[in-house]
Amino acid sequence: MRKYKISEIVVKRLPLYLRCLTYLDKMGVPTISSHELGHKLGIKPSQIRKDLAYFGEFGKQGIGYDVSYLRGEIRHILGLTEHIKVAVVGAGKLGQALSDYILLKREDFDIAAVFDRDPAKIGMEVGGVKVSPIENLKEIIQEKEIQMAIVTVPANAAQKVVNLLVDAGVRGILSFAPIAVTVPEGVRFYNVDFTMELQSLAYYLTGQGKNEY
Amino acid sequence: MRKYKISEIVVKRLPLYLRCLTYLDKMGVPTISSHELGHKLGIKPSQIRKDLAYFGEFGKQGIGYDVSYLRGEIRHILGLTEHIKVAVVGAGKLGQALSDYILLKREDFDIAAVFDRDPAKIGMEVGGVKVSPIENLKEIIQEKEIQMAIVTVPANAAQKVVNLLVDAGVRGILSFAPIAVTVPEGVRFYNVDFTMELQSLAYYLTGQGKNEY
DNA sequence: TCATGTGAAGCTATTCACAGCA
DNA sequence: TGCTGTGAATAGCTTCACATGA
C-alpha cells in the first residue's frame, strides 16, 4: 500500500499513456523512451518519467521502457486486469453508440445492462444485451454487482438517474448529460459535455482568445 | 485587448459557469453569489471570483452577480454572440447523435456540413443537413467558411481526416476518436475519449486508488 | 451587513539537471 | 553513450484574508 495519495491529474494521464502503448504494442514496437513517447503525446519526457516513477521503476537505463511490460503494469495500476461490468442508462443514439463500441472493442469493459424509460426501447438489443426498464435498475445492478455506470439521458432526467444509481450501489459514474449533478461523498462522478468543449474551442477561434498562442 | 494570456484551465471553467447560469436564468433566478454558484458546482467561491475578475468586474458588492448579465458577458468572452458553423466528419451513430443534439438545441452552434466516406450514408439527413462525400470536404468547408469541426470517425481514419480538415482551413477540432493525433501549430485540437474516462474511474474503483478519498 | 475584487500566501504541478546504471 | 529516476528549482494554480463599496 502506498502511503501518499496520487493526484487525480496523474491518474488521468495514465490512460493516455496506455492508449499509446497499446497501439505501439500492436505495431510490434518493443521498447520506447520517455522522449519518444512524449513526442507522440505532446508531453515533456520528464513528466512521463515522474508520473511512472510514482508507481514503480518500470524503465531500463540506456534503453527506455519495454512497451508490452509497461502496458501491463499500467493496466494493473488502473485495475483493468479483469473486465469491469458497466451499466448504461439511456438507450438513445448516444447510449447505443457507446454501448456498441464497448461491445465491439471487447477490452477492459463489459456492458452488463442497458436501461431506458421508453417502453418502445425495452427488449431492443444494445451493446450485446437487451434493454431493461429503468424500474428494474436497482434489482439488476445489485444482482449483477455492477459498480460503474454511463449516463446518457437528457439533462432533466440526469439527477434522478444518478440518484437511482447511487442508491443501487454504483460508485463511479460517467455522465454525458449537459447539466451539473451532485453526488454524495464516496461516489466518483465525471461529466463529459461536448458542448462545453466546443465553447472553450470557440474562445480561441471567435472569442477573446482568438489572437493567442 | 488584454496584455496577459488567460490560462486554458480558466477558459475551460467558463463553459461550466455558463451552463449553470443558463439554467438559473431559465429558472428565473435574478442574482447569485460566488458562494452559491460554487456550492452548486463544487468549486470554491474565491476561484469563481478570481476567474471572472480576469475578464472584468461583473459583480455587485453585497449582492452578487446578475445571472442574466453575467451569462451574456461569458457568452461574449467565449465568442458565442453569433452561431458558429461546425462541420461533422463521420455520420455513424455517434456523429448522428451529436449532430442531432446540436440541431435540436439551436444554441451557439450550427451544423453546416456532415461528411462520411460510406456511399450508403451520402444524402441522408443528419443534424438538419444532407451528408456529403468526404471527397468534397475541402470545397464545402472553404465555401461555407467553416472553422470548427467534430471528428467521429474510427481511430484508423482520424489522422487522415484531421489532416484534411487542417488543409481545408479548420482551426479548431474536437475529436472523439480514441487515438493520439498530431496537428500543426495554429490549430487547436481537443480529444474526448470516453474509454480513457472509464479507465481513470477504474483506478478508483478496482485499481490502486480504490481505498482513497 | 454582505459579497466582490485582489494582493499575498500556500500549495500543487511541471521542468530542470544530474547521479547512476546498462 | 543513452536513458532512467529523482531531488531541487521553477512555474502555475488555488485559497486566504481583507479593504472596499453597496
Residue A22 buriedness (CB in 10 A; 0-12 / 13-18 / 19+):
middle
In 3D space, the residue among B77, B76, B75, B95 whose CA is nearest the CA of residue B149 turns out to be: B95
Within this chain, do residues A15 and A67 fall inside the same structural domain, yes or no? Answer: yes
Within this chain, do residues B135 and B100 fall inside the same structural domain, yes or no? Answer: yes
Backbone angles phi, psi at B110, to 5 degrees: -125, 135
**For residue B29, what are the domain limits?**
8-78
pLDDT tier for residue B212 given thresholds of 50, 70 and 90 = confident
pLDDT tier for residue B1 given thresholds of 50, 70 and 90 = low
Alpha-carbon distance of A137 to A114, in angstroms, equals: 9
Give residue for cell 458577458. B73
Contact A152, A164 (CB under 8 A): no
Alpha-carbon distance of B81 to B125, in angstroms, equals: 27
Alpha-carbon distance of B137 to A207, in angstroms, equals: 25
Within this chain, do residues B128 and B175 fall inside the same structural domain, yes or no? Answer: yes
Quick check: is B34 in a domain? yes
Quick check: is A187 in a domain? yes
Quick check: is A151 in a domain? yes
CB-based contacts with strand C under 7 Å?
A 7-10, 43-44, 46-47, 49-50, 60-63; B 33-35, 45-46, 49-50, 52-53, 57-65
Q: In the predicted model, what is the mean pLDDT of chain B?
A: 97
Q: How far is the CA of B36 from the C1' of D18 (A)?
A: 21
Q: Which of A30, A50, A77 is the last residue of a domain?
A: A77
Q: Per residue in B8-36, pLDDT tens?
A: 999 999 999 999 999 999 999 999 999 99
Question: What confidence score (pLDDT) does residue B197 get?
Answer: 98
Question: What confidence score (pLDDT) does residue A1 get?
Answer: 63
Check whether B66 has a pLDDT greater than 70.
Answer: yes
> Which three cell numbers, joined as nine digits, stand for A89?
442508462
Question: What confidence score (pLDDT) does residue B211 get?
Answer: 86
What DSSP letter does each residue of A120-132 carry, written as one string? GGTT-EETTEEEE
Within this chain, do residues A22 and A72 fall inside the same structural domain, yes or no? Answer: yes
pLDDT, average across residues B100-122: 97
Within this chain, do residues A149 and A103 fall inside the same structural domain, yes or no? Answer: yes
Within this chain, do residues A124 and A28 fall inside the same structural domain, yes or no? Answer: no
Backbone angles phi, psi at A162, to 5 degrees: -65, -40
User: Do A203 and B77 make contact, defined as CB atoms within 8 angstroms?
Assistant: yes
Question: What confidence score (pLDDT) does residue A196 get?
Answer: 98
Quick check: is B208 in a domain? no
Quick check: is A166 in a domain? yes
Q: Which of A56, A77, A98 is the last residue of a domain?
A: A77
pLDDT per position in chain A (213 positions), as tens?
677 899 999 999 999 999 999 999 999 999 999 999 999 999 999 999 999 999 999 999 999 999 999 999 999 999 999 999 999 999 999 999 999 999 999 999 999 999 999 999 999 999 999 999 999 999 999 999 999 999 999 999 999 999 999 999 999 999 999 999 999 999 999 999 999 999 999 999 999 999 886
Within this chain, do residues B35 and B107 fall inside the same structural domain, yes or no? Answer: no
How many domains are contained in chain B?
A: 2
Within this chain, do residues B90 and B189 fall inside the same structural domain, yes or no? Answer: yes
Q: How far is the CA of B37 from the C1' of C2 (A)?
A: 16
Q: Which nucleotide is nearest to A63 (CA to C1')?
A: D3
> Which three cell numbers, joined as nine digits, stand for B98?
451529436
Question: What confidence score (pLDDT) does residue B13 get?
Answer: 98
Identify all chain A residues contacting B101, using CB atoms and an 8 Å cutoff.
Answer: 94
Quick check: is B206 in a domain? no
CATH number of the domain where residue B46 is located:
1.10.10.10
Alpha-carbon distance of A108 to A81, in angstroms, equals: 8
CATH number of the domain where residue A140 is located:
3.40.50.720
Within this chain, do residues A49 and A96 fall inside the same structural domain, yes or no? Answer: no
Question: What confidence score (pLDDT) does residue A165 get?
Answer: 98
Chain C nucleotides close to protein (CB under 7 A) are: 1-7, 12-17, 20-22
Which of B39, B198, B204, B210 has the most A C-beta neighbours within 10 Å, making it the best mutation to test the interface with A?
B198
User: Do B208 and A79 make contact, defined as CB atoms within 8 angstroms?
Assistant: yes
Check whether B95 has a pLDDT greater than 80.
Answer: yes
Least confident of B44-48, B200-204, B209-213: B209-213
Maximum separation of any 2 CA atoms in chain A, in Å = 61
CA dihedral angle for residue B127, residue B131, residue B137, residue B142, rounded to 10 degrees: -50
Within this chain, do residues B58 and B99 fall inside the same structural domain, yes or no? Answer: no
Alpha-carbon distance of B148 to B86, in angstroms, equals: 5
Cα of first residue to Cα of last residue in chain B, in angstroms, is 43
Check whether B65 has a pLDDT greater than 80.
Answer: yes
Question: What confidence score (pLDDT) does residue A19 get?
Answer: 98
What letter does residue A89 receive in the DSSP assignment?
A: E
Quick check: is A38 in a domain? yes
User: Do B11 and A79 make contact, defined as CB atoms within 8 angstroms?
Assistant: no
pLDDT tier for residue B102 given thresholds of 50, 70 and 90 = very high
SS (H, E, C) chain B: CCCCCCCHHHHHHHHHHHHHHHHHHHCCCCEECHHHHHHHHCCCHHHHHHHHHCCCCCEECCCEEEHHHHHHHHHHHHCCCCCEEEEEECCCHHHHHHHHHHHHHCCCEEEEEEEECCHHHCCCEECCEEEEEHHHHHHHHHHCCCCEEEECCCHHHHHHHHHHHHHHCCCEEEECCCCCCCCCCCCEEEECCHHHHHHHHHHHHCCCCCCCC
Alpha-carbon distance of A201 to A197, in angstroms, equals: 6
Backbone angles phi, psi at A150, to 5 degrees: -115, 130
Q: Which of B59, B78, B97 is the last residue of a domain?
A: B78
What letter does residue A154 receive in the DSSP assignment?
A: -
Cα of first residue to Cα of last residue in chain A, in angstroms, is 42
Within this chain, do residues A63 and A39 fall inside the same structural domain, yes or no? Answer: yes
Within this chain, do residues B96 and B135 fall inside the same structural domain, yes or no? Answer: yes
Alpha-carbon distance of B92 to B78, in angstroms, equals: 29
Quick check: is A3 in a domain? no
For chain B, what percent of residues have pLDDT higher than 70? 99
